[in-house]
């Protein structure tokens, strides 16, 4: 693929753009030759591009994106983030950033922050995982571990969950999570926001259990707090302490170097009462040349009587 091919593909994908979050180009899966460092998203009224590595084509790519931005005339601003630089700076290249911009998915809205953080506050590749939770949340007490900005909590409450406990050691993202509920007109009376280090707070987490639906969606590595290779096992080993007699677990992993068997083995060795059910599909707009390097959303259940 050359730059002209990339521009044609962007125009083709832009034809289906709505207000909902849309990935227009996903190079990270290595399916487009030399563009593994590049993603392009349509986010509400913003065209958002991330450069994950320095590349000699960067100036040419930004120039092409300018032409694409004006030719399509669908967005108010073009933003480019240079993830490979310290602090991952984002720059408004063209237009003006709207005062209010949201990630919109299946009619629900989420606050995002383009300019002051490495991650904007929303992970679009988890869409099918959120849909699973929304379908299975009705009447359930939900535990959302590593909740970040609480998108799983939003869909759980929207899906009829009786209560949700969100746990994340970062108070700022939990505050954003609370605002995400309010943004969608969702009552937070039965929603908890726990600013705890999960691995050191089991007794606090147990108090709001037992849980009927548990979401485990950790970072693959977070310096000083979590490493999937060594710490994921500690969570699986504790499941029996706060899982209800009938319990569904969505166990997520987005570490390219770890495959599905890594998680399956952790359950077999540390929580054998949970039966592996399925791996959720990934979005077609996030192609991956090696499937086991892509996002892994695995479903386990404690009782075979639960129909998924």
Contacts of the segment 62-67: beta carbons below 8 A, 24+ positions apart? 62/93, 64/3, 64/6, 64/7, 65/40, 65/93, 66/93, 66/94, 67/7
* Whether residue 169 is found in the same domain as residue 277: yes
* Whether residue 279 is found in the same domain as residue 147: yes
Q: Is the Cβ–Cβ distance between 61 and 30 less than 8 Å?
A: no
- 96 assigned to some structural domain: yes
- 118 assigned to some structural domain: no
Q: pTM score, two decimals?
A: 0.94
- 308 assigned to some structural domain: no
* Whether residue 145 is found in the same domain as residue 290: yes
Q: Is the Cβ–Cβ distance between 53 and 84 less than 8 Å?
A: yes
pLDDT confidence of residue 116: 77
Final residue of a structural domain among 45, 80, 111? 111
pLDDT confidence of residue 188: 97
pLDDT confidence of residue 306: 46
Final residue of a structural domain among 69, 90, 111? 111
* Whether residue 99 is found in the same domain as residue 178: no
Q: Which residues of the chain have pLDDT under 70?
A: 221-225, 304-308
- 174 assigned to some structural domain: yes
pLDDT confidence of residue 223: 67
pLDDT confidence of residue 115: 86
- 149 assigned to some structural domain: yes
Q: Is the Cβ–Cβ distance between 259 and 290 less than 8 Å?
A: no
* Whether residue 49 is found in the same domain as residue 8: yes
* Whether residue 101 is found in the same domain as residue 173: no
* Whether residue 149 is found in the same domain as residue 257: yes
Q: Which residues pair with 39 in a beta bridge?
A: 26, 50
Q: 104: domain CATH number? A: 3.30.750.80
- 116 assigned to some structural domain: no
- 119 assigned to some structural domain: no
Ramachandran angles phi, psi of 59, nearest 5°? -65, -40
Cβ neighbourhood burial of 159 (10 Å; 0-12, 13-18, 19+): buried
- 117 assigned to some structural domain: no
* Whether residue 33 is found in the same domain as residue 131: no
Domain that holds residue 59: 3-111
pLDDT confidence of residue 307: 47
* Whether residue 139 is found in the same domain as residue 177: yes
* Whether residue 216 is found in the same domain as residue 72: no
* Whether residue 140 is found in the same domain as residue 266: yes
* Whether residue 233 is found in the same domain as residue 87: no
Final residue of a structural domain among 111, 146, 161? 111
How many domains, in total, are found in the chain? 2
């Amino acid at each position: 693929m050359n730059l002209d091919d990339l521009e044609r593909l962007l125009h083709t994908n832009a034809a289906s753009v709505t207000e909902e979050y849309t990935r227009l180009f996903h190079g990270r899966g290595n399916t487009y030759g030399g563009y593994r460092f590049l993603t392009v998203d349509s986010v509400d009224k913003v065209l958002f591009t991330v450069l994950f590595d320095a590349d000699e084509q960067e100036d040419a790519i930004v120039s092409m994106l300018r032409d694409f931005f004006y030719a399509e005339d669908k967005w108010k601003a073009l933003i480019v983030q240079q993830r490979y630089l310290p602090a991952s700076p984002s720059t408004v290249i063209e237009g003006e950033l709207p005062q209010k911009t949201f990630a919109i998915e299946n009619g629900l809205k989420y606050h995002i922050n383009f300019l002051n953080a490495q991650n904007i506050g929303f992970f679009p590749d988890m869409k099918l995982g959120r849909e699973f939770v929304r379908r299975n949340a009705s009447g359930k007490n939900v535990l959302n571990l590593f909740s970040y900005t609480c998108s799983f909590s939003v869909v759980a409450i929207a899906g009829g969950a009786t209560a949700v406990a969100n746990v994340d050691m970062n108070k700022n993202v939990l505050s954003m999570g609370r605002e995400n509920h309010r943004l969608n007109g969702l009552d937070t009376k039965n929603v908890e926001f726990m600013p705890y280090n999960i691995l050191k707070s089991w007794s606090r987490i147990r108090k709001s259990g037992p849980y009927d639906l548990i979401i485990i969606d950790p970072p693959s590595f977070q310096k000083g707090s979590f490493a999937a290779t060594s710490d994921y096992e500690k969570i699986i080993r504790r499941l029996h302490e706060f899982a209800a007699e009938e319990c569904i677990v969505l166990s997520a992993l987005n570490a390219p170097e770890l495959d599905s068997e890594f998680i399956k083995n952790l359950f077999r060795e540390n929580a054998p009462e949970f039966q592996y059910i399925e791996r959720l599909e990934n979005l077609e707009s996030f192609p991956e040349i090696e499937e086991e390097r892509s996002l892994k959303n695995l479903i386990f259940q404690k009782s075979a009587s639960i129909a998924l």
